[in-house]
Amino acid sequence: MDRDFAEPLDVPSLAKVALMSPAHFSRRFRAAFGETPHRYLQRRRIERACAMLRDTPTTVTEIALAVGFDSLGTFSRTFAQIIGRPPTQYRSEATPLDVPTCFVKSWTRPSSFG
């Protein structure tokens, strides 16, 4: 999921890779990560979108499609739910950080715990 976040992924195909039934996969995933596979995937997509908004001049629509969302509306709504503000506001307030990428990812990773 982390590597192929932009691909269309669904629970049945992920469960098949894990050699589990979809229901069992969802339960085990939630027990391990504290959130559903779908929400985890959304967070990874939004995390990547944050980096692109911060570091590139790419349009919000292009970013939404590049990280795996089918529509700008769904992307914007999900982004605001997870980050707390719309993508355009995030871009205007975010500044590129002059530190190694691994630190930026750790510091700016969207949390499911608030």
Task: Convert the pLDDT of each residue in 19-61 to its tens digit.
Answer: 999 999 999 999 999 999 999 999 999 999 999 999 899 999 9
pLDDT at 17 over 60: yes
Give the span between the Cα atoms of 34 and 97, in whole angstroms: 29
Phi-psi map region of 92: left, alpha, beta (phi>0 left; psi -120 to 50 alpha): alpha
Is 81 in a helix, a strand, or coil?
A: helix
Give the span between the Cα atoms of 48 and 31, in whole angstroms: 24
Q: Tell me what pLDDT residue 109 has.
A: 64
Average per-residue pLDDT for the chain: 87
CB 44 within 8 A of CB 2: yes
Q: Tell me what pLDDT residue 6 has.
A: 80
| pTM score | 0.78
Q: Which residues, at least 6 apart from 25, have a Cβ–Cβ distance to it below 8 Å?
A: 11, 14, 15, 18, 37
Query: Please, which pLDDT band fits residue 102 given cuts at 50, 70 and 90?
Result: low
Q: Tell me what pLDDT residue 62 has.
A: 97
Q: Which residues, at least 6 apart from 56, have a Cβ–Cβ distance to it below 8 Å?
A: 63
